[in-house]
C-alpha cells in the first residue's frame, strides 16, 4: 500500500452502536469490511447530533472548543480543519453530503475542491426551490426563474430541478445517487496522481424511516404485520410532548424500520466497496466508517437524537480498514472518541496540525497503548429549542421544558456521570446498568465528586450559551424543519 493512501471517510448519520453491534444481520457488509480491518466497539461521539459531532471530527476538538452548535451554527475555526490540512498535504479532496447541516452554507466546505450536497445531481445552477419558497409574489418569482434560464449554466438548473421534483425522495435518502456521484468523481481522476480524500455522509438511518419497499419487512417481529406500519407515528416532538401515545409495539415497528434503513445503507456501502475492489483502488485506500451520533427509539422516553447524553446517542459504530496500520479482524474494546479520527487521518496522510486543542490521541496510538481512561460528551444548546417546540406542537409539558438546559458528561468503563447546567446530576454504573436506567448518584457521592471535578478540569466554566441569530435560505430552513431540527 502507498505511503500516503487514499482515504474514504464514510459517516453513517444517526447509526447507533446498540443496533449495529447487537444484530450483525442488520449490516453484513459492514462486518465484511471489518474482517479486513479493526472494529472499535467502544467509540463515542462528543455530541448527540450532527452539527457539533461533524465539527469535532473535522477539527479534533470538543464542542466547547470548536464552538459550533445550535447556538452558533457556523463552522468557522481560526485553524485549518481536516480537509484543508489534507489538501495542503497533496490530497485531492471531495465531499458528498446528504445532511443539510454538513454543507457549505454552514462552513464545512473549507479544504474541499469539490462539495456535493444532497439536493443537486450536478453542481452549479440556481436553487429553484429556494426561489419558490421565498415570500415574494408570483411575478417576482417568475422573473427570478426566467433570469435563471438565461444563465450560462441553465442546463444545470433544469437538471437539478427535474431531479428535485421527480427523483430525490422516490427511492432513498441519497445513497444510490451518492455512490454514483462518487464513482463519477473517481472516474474523472484521469492523470492526477494525487491521493484522494473523500468524505461521504449517508442519511438513510435518520427520521423519518422510509426504507425501499423490499427492505421494509426484513426485521419485522413475527407477531407484527406490515400493515401495522400504516399510521405509525414518526413525529418525535409530538410523542415527546405527549400529543401522541405510543406503546412497545409501536417502538418495535420503528426499530424494524430503522434496521431496514441501516440494512439498505449497508447494501449500498457494499456496492461502493465492491466498486473500489473491481476498479483496483481498494488496496490503496484507507476506509473509515463511523456513526456521527446514535438515536433514541423510545429509549429514556425519547425519540430522535436530542435532549440527552445517554449512550443511545453517544455510543457509535466505528471501523477502520487499512491493513498497514490496523490489524485485520481485530476488535478493540478500549474507549475512543470520534474526534480521534482527526489525528488518525492526519497521521496516515503524513500531515500535521499546530492546534493544541485538537485530539492528539490517534486510533493507532490507542491500539499500541490502550484506550482512553475517560470519554466526554457535550450538549451545548437544546435543538430544537423549547420555543421552537411550542411553535411546532403548541403546549409543551412542564417536564419537557426541563430539557431547556446544557449538558455534559464523562464516562469510564465503569461509570457515567451526566451534569446539567440546571444543577441536575445523574450517575450510572455502566457495568451493571449499561442502559442507564438506574441513577445511583445519591449512593456514590465520592464518585460523583471525582467525576464532577474531571469535568471542571476538562471544560471551561459551565454557563448558559446564548443563541445567535441564524441566517439561512428558506429551502435550507424547510429541509432542517423536515428533518426535525428546527
386 assigned to some structural domain:
no
299, part of any domain: yes
- Cell numbers found for residue 122: 450536478
Task: Find, among 27, 103, 98, the residue nearest to 319 by Cα.
Answer: 27
In this predicted structure, what is the pLDDT of residue 356? 85
Q: Which three cell numbers stand for residue 459?
A: 471544560
% of the chain beyond a pLDDT of 70: 83
The confidence score (pLDDT) of residue 130 equals: 46
Is residue 2 very low, low, confident or very high in pLDDT (cuts 50, 70, 90)? Answer: low
| pLDDT confidence of residue 443 | 98
Q: Which residue has the cell 413525529?
A: 235
284-288 average pLDDT score: 98
Q: Is the pLDDT of residue 434 over 70?
A: yes
**Is-contact 303 400, C-beta < 8 A?**
no
Give the number of C-alpha atoms closer than 13 A to the C-alpha of residue 328, restricted to the C-beta side.
Answer: 6
Share of the chain above pLDDT 90, in %: 76
- pLDDT reported for residue 483: 64
> Does 159 reside within a domain?
no
Helix, strand and coil percent figures for the chain, each rounded to 5: 40, 15, 45
Strands 336-337 and 43-44: parallel
pLDDT digits (tens, 9 = 90+) for 123-134: 455 554 444 434
What is the total residue count of the chain?
A: 486
Per-residue pLDDT of 195-249, as tens digits, reads 999 999 999 999 999 999 999 999 999 999 999 999 999 999 999 999 999 999 9
Model confidence band, residue 153 (pLDDT cutoffs 50, 70, 90): low
Residue 339 is predicted with a pLDDT of 97
Q: Residue 196 belongs to what H/E stretch?
A: strand 196-202
Q: Mean pLDDT lowest for which of 14-18, 283-287, 326-330, 387-391?
A: 387-391
Within 413-457, strands assigned E span 415-420, 425-429
Look at residue 29 and tell me if it is in a domain: yes
Mean pLDDT for the stretch of residues 318-340: 97
Could you tell me which residues are beta bridge partners of residue 378? 408
* Structure confidence at residue 358 (pLDDT): 87
Q: Is residue 120 scored above 70 in pLDDT?
A: no
Strands 375-379 and 407-411: antiparallel
The answer to the question of residue 147 being in a domain is no
pLDDT at 319: 99
Assign 354 a pLDDT band (cuts: 50, 70, 90).
confident
Task: For residue 245, give the C-alpha cell.
Answer: 401515545
- Weakest mean pLDDT among 4-8, 40-44, 324-328, 463-467: 463-467
Cα–Cα distances (Å) from 62 to 45, 52, 108, 374, in that order, read 10, 8, 16, 14
pLDDT tens per residue, range 31-60: 999 999 999 999 999 999 999 999 999 999
Calpha distance 359→227 (Å, rounded): 48
* 434 domain residue, yes or no: no
Question: What pLDDT is attached to residue 471?
Answer: 67
Nearest to 99 by CA among 83, 114, 119: 119
Say whether pTM exceeds 0.95. Answer: no
CB neighbours of residue 128 within 10 Å:
20
Q: Other CB atoms closer than 10 Å to residue 2's CB: what's the count?
A: 11
Sign of CA dihedral 334, 13, 340, 296: negative
Q: What is the mean pLDDT of the chain?
A: 89
Distance CA 26, CA 479 (A): 28
Position 329 pLDDT exceeds 90: yes
For residue 323, which of 370, 279, 286 has the smallest C-alpha distance? 286
| Region 439-466 average pLDDT | 89
Q: Is residue 446 one of the residues assigned to a domain?
A: no
CATH of residue 43: 3.40.720.10
Does residue 135 have a pLDDT over 50? no
Strands 92-97 and 114-116 turn out to be: parallel
The residue-averaged pLDDT of 256-267 equals 98
Domain that holds residue 324: 6-119+168-373
Q: Is residue 216 part of a domain?
A: yes
Torsion angle of C-alpha atoms 337, 341, 343, 347, degrees rounded to 10:
140
- Classify residue 242 as left (phi > 0), alpha (psi -120 to 50) or beta: left
Mean pLDDT of 379-406: 92
Q: Looking at residue 140, what is its pLDDT?
A: 62
Please report the sign of the dihedral spanned by the C-alpha atoms of residue 391, residue 393, residue 395, residue 397: negative
Mean pLDDT over 144-164 rounds to 58
Retrieve residue 386's grid coordinates: 423549547
The DSSP element (H or E) to which 410 belongs, if any, is strand 407-411
Structural domains counted in the chain: 1
Per-residue confidence band for 417, with pLDDT thresholds at 50, 70 and 90: very high
Amino acid at each position: 500500500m502507498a505511503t500516503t493512501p487514499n482515504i474514504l471517510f464514510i459517516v453513517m448519520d444517526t447509526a447507533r452502536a446498540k443496533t449495529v453491534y447487537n444484530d450483525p444481520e442488520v449490516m453484513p457488509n459492514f462486518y465484511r469490511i471489518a474482517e479486513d480491518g479493526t472494529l472499535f466497539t467502544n467509540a463515542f461521539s462528543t455530541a448527540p447530533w450532527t452539527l457539533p459531532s461533524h465539527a469535532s471530527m473535522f477539527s479534533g476538538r470538543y464542542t466547547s472548543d470548536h464552538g459550533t452548535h445550535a447556538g452558533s451554527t457556523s463552522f468557522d475555526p481560526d485553524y485549518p480543519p481536516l480537509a484543508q490540512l489534507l489538501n495542503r498535504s497533496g490530497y485531492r479532496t471531495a465531499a458528498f453530503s446528504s445532511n443539510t447541516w454538513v454543507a457549505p452554507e454552514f462552513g464545512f466546505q473549507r479544504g474541499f475542491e469539490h462539495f456535493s450536497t444532497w439536493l443537486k445531481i450536478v453542481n452549479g445552477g440556481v436553487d429553484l426551490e429556494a426561489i419558490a419558497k421565498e415570500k415574494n409574489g408570483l411575478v417576482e418569482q417568475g422573473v427570478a426563474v426566467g433570469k435563471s434560464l438565461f444563465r450560462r449554466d441553465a442546463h444545470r438548473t433544469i437538471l437539478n430541478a427535474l431531479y428535485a421534483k421527480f427523483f430525490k425522495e422516490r427511492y432513498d435518502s441519497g445513497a444510490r445517487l451518492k455512490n454514483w456521484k462518487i464513482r463519477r468523481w473517481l472516474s474523472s481522476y484521469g492523470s492526477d496522481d494525487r491521493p484522494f480524500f473523500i468524505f461521504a455522509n449517508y442519511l438513510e438511518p435518520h427520521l423519518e424511516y422510509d426504507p425501499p419497499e423490499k427492505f421494509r419487512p426484513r426485521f419485522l417481529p413475527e407477531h407484527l404485520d406490515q400493515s401495522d406500519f400504516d399510521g405509525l407515528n414518526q413525529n418525535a416532538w409530538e410523542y415527546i410532548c405527549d400529543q401522541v401515545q405510543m406503546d412497545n409495539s409501536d417502538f418495535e415497528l420503528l426499530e424494524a424500520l430503522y434496521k431496514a434503513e441501516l440494512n439498505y445503507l449497508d447494501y449500498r456501502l457494499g456496492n461502493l466497496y465492491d466498486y473500489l475492489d473491481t476498479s483496483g483502488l481498494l488496496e490503496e485506500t484507507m476506509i473509515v466508517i463511523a456513526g456521527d451520533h446514535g438515536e433514541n427509539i423510545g429509549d429514556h422516553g425519547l425519540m430522535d437524537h436530542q435532549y440527552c447524553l445517554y449512550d443511545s446517542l453517544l455510543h457509535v459504530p466505528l471501523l477502520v480498514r487499512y491493513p498497514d496500520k490496523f490489524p485485520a479482524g481485530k476488535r478493540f474494546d478500549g474507549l475512543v472518541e470520534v474526534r480521534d479520527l482527526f489525528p488518525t487521518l492526519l497521521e496516515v496522510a503524513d500531515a500535521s496540525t499546530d492546534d493544541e486543542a485538537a485530539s492528539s490521541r490517534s486510533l493507532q496510538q490507542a491500539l499500541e497503548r490502550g484506550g482512553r481512561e475517560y470519554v466526554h460528551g457535550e450538549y451545548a444548546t437544546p435543538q430544537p429549542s423549547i420555543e421552537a417546540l411550542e411553535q411546532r406542537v403548541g403546549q409543551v409539558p412542564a417536564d419537557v421544558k426541563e430539557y431547556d438546559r446544557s449538558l455534559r458528561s464523562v464516562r469510564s468503563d465503569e461509570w457515567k456521570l451526566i451534569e446539567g447546567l440546571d444543577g441536575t446530576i445523574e450517575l450510572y454504573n455502566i457495568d451493571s446498568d449499561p442502559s442507564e436506567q438506574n441513577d445511583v448518584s445519591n449512593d456514590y457521592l465520592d464518585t460523583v465528586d471525582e467525576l464532577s471535578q474531571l469535568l471542571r478540569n476538562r471544560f471551561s466554566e459551565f454557563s448558559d450559551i446564548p443563541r445567535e441569530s441564524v441566517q439561512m435560505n428558506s429551502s435550507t430552513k424547510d429541509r432542517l424543519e423536515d428533518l426535525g431540527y428546527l
